[in-house]
Structure 1
Amino acid sequence: MAKKTFEAALARLEEITQELEEGDLSLDKSLKKFDEGVQLARFCNEQLEEARAKVELLLEKNGEIEAVPFAEEEREHQDLSE
């Protein structure tokens, strides 16, 4: 089986959502689709968490380049905008 990508998993999750919203599936098929959707949502969430953990913004502070975790940078921008 090919390696699952975030984009492919998200596209499949959108397909499943549409199929479930249409309501044309039997209960058994709906439950199977729902289970697949939950697994895909978990995979997507894990991928996003991994990406978020890797993201660092470079800021210039006191003439030096410093790596700052994404979440910290996000808080600084919120504090400035308030």
Structure 2
Amino acid sequence: MKDIEKLSYEQARDELQKVVAELEQQSLSLEASMALWERGEALSKHCEQWLSGARKKLDDATKEAN
């Protein structure tokens, strides 16, 4: 999902929250639910990559400061 790669952390997080809310309503067809689930998984992975990158930068900065 190339469009997800272009999202900032905040944009991906906000969209993920919307996906979860839609899934919780349970008013979608199975196909629509599966598509939303897959998008949610991709958004979650993207957010984790952002956070992992931020952790690495903090760790590197801390090591340089010591």
TM-score over 0.5 (shorter chain): yes
> Counterpart in 1 of 2:44?
41
Q: 1:1-80 maps to which residues of 2 (within 5 A)? A: 3-55=6-58, 56-57=61-62, 67-68=65-66
3-state SS of paired residue (2:7): coil
Equivalent residue pairs, number: 60
Listed as ranges, the gaps of 5+ residues in structure 1 are 59-65, 69-82
Deviation at 1:57, TM superposition (A): 3.8
Which has the higher Rg, Structure 1 or Structure 2? Answer: 1
Q: Tell me which of the two structures has the higher relative contact order, counting C-alpha pairs closer than 8 angstroms and 6 or more residues apart.
A: 2
- Indicate the RMSD between aligned Cα atoms, in angstroms: 1.7
Indicate the structure with greater helix content.
2
After TM superposition, the runs of 4+ consecutive aligned structure 1 residues lying more than 2 A away are: none
Listed as ranges, the gaps of 5+ residues in structure 2 are none
Indicate the structure with greater strand content.
1
Percent sequence identity over matched residues?
Answer: 33
Q: In structure 2, how many angstroms separate the alpha carbons of the residues matched to 1:19 and 1:38?
A: 14
TM-score by length of 2: 0.82
